[in-house]
Amino acid sequence: MEDEEVMKSLTISRKIFSPIYYGINTRQIIGVLVTQPKRQTHSNIQQRQEYVPVLTVSPKNALYDVRPTIRVEGLKPNKTITLKAQMVEDKGKLLYSNAHFIADKNGVVDVSSSPSLGGSYEGVFPSGLLSTLKIATGHFEFGNIYKNNMHEPIKVKISLQDGHQHIDSNEEELDGTELNRYMIAEGVQRIPIREGNIRGVLYIPNGEGPFPGVIDMFGAVGMLTESRAALNASRGIASLCLAYFSYEDLPVSRIRDLDLSYFEEALKFLLSRPNVISDRCGVIGNCFGGYLAYRMALHFNELKSVFIINATHNPFFADLKYKGKLIAKCPKSKDIVVSKGSDDTYMPTEWFNDSIATVTPSDVEAFEKTNDDQHFMVTIGDEDCYQFHNGWLKFQEKLSNKKLKNFSLKIYRKAGHIIHPPYSPFSSVVFAQLWQSDPRLNKGVLCKFGGQVKETIHMQEDVWKLIPDFIISHVVKTK
């Protein structure tokens, strides 16, 4: 009896769990079971994921002094890559740089925060790809960022390569884009100046004005360096980029016979412009241009903001006159400014560095006589081969407490001599013309100007922030 009950329950169970009992075709079930995909685990998904790297540069179109963000996303975690920058300057020379990176756990490389492991620089350097651009063959010239047409952008190609590549590698790029860096903003006027004795270019900001004005001069390299004037005008400062020798009909020999009357004429010209503040302005100068800016301010009270970059207050190259009268006598050994070293590069002589560090009672007396509303900002790199900071430190020590309020000295550690607008290609050795009696130097030689790349770029950035604030605060009258 018990055996019959057990057999009966087994029969019922088979019916309940049998597909045939419910009228279902067993082949359909088998087919469904065969074609149903297996459940995907996280590890399976990660193994089958495709990585598509995307290189972005932002902003792609901007003024030259704006640092772009360069970023790569969509990389496999810990992926090794190379970022490469290439630029062709106006004379047709190729400049390039590269940097090696490893993607983070999210597959991202951000140049502003990711360290470079090799290439043109190492460590975290947000502007590194731009600041370490090097001439592919030959040497840098002072004109490496000059533009024949200031309204056209400087184009920089940024490309992404697989692995850590040599700078000359032709490895196929995974992605690429182009950066357009403009020297001049839309609406800024560029006006070549040939009026009276004055030669240069005037940049007027977009708008009605009146704008604060500034006279802008670079060192004793001849030609005209317009980049700073164009960018300052793009930020609202009317800028007269002033030539003073070796430009158009101004002869090379003129640097040996400079008279402040020329600069006074330029000052009056700038103040006479209808859209420029008419009774006061500023002056900016590098190297010999900074020396001239300082001398101008001692004689012309209209100069309220005097911004000096890597320059001395002492005469060099030549004597300086005003209305034909000698006002600054250059030391007798004026031709012995540089000498050739064992590596075939030229550096300032010990005599030169000693002479520019001299501070006489008459130097201090002349500064003490400047007006109380004239302000001086001196910015110096302490690894500039022209050791200008030694003289300015002595100068500052001798000033009265009253005049110290009008004088600011800022020294930048490990920064060099050449201070262009920010994110310009850096080099401590440059091919330059030195306007001296030796004709070999006039044709151009390799010169050392000193400085470390990151520290010099830091000085570029900081000086660039200081200039508009300093000029505007002392030129624009506040009620």
SS3 237: coil
Give the active site residues.
Answer: 287, 384, 417
Q: Which is nearest to 384 in space by CA: 334, 458, 456?
A: 456
Distance (Å, whole) CA 409 – CA 407: 7
Among residues 93, 214, 170, 145, which one has the least CA distance to residue 419?
A: 145
Residues for the chain: how many in total? 479
- Choose from 42-56, 215-229, 454-468 the range with maximum mean pLDDT: 454-468
CB atoms within 10 A of CB 296: 22
User: What would the pLDDT profile of 371-390 be if each residue is shown by its tens digit?
Assistant: 999 999 999 999 999 889 99
Delimiting residues of CATH 3.40.50.1820 domain(s) in the chain: 189-475
Contact yes or no for 156/86 (Cβ under 8 A)? yes
| Cα→Cα distances 230→99, 185, 238, 285, 465, Å | 31, 8, 9, 15, 15
CATH homologous superfamily, domain 189-475? Alpha/Beta hydrolase fold, catalytic domain (3.40.50.1820)
**Domain 50-182 has what CATH class?**
mainly beta
- pLDDT the model gives residue 331: 76
Q: What is the pLDDT of residues 300-346, one digit of tens each?
A: 999 999 999 999 999 877 889 999 999 998 876 545 677 787 777 88
**Sheet containing strand 109-110, strands side by side:** 54-58, 69-73, 109-110
- Looking at the chain, the domain(s) classified CATH 2.60.40.2240 span 50-182
- Burial of 14: CB neighbours in 10 Å, binned 0-12, 13-18, 19+: exposed
For the question of whether the overall pTM of this predicted structure is more than 0.75, the answer is yes
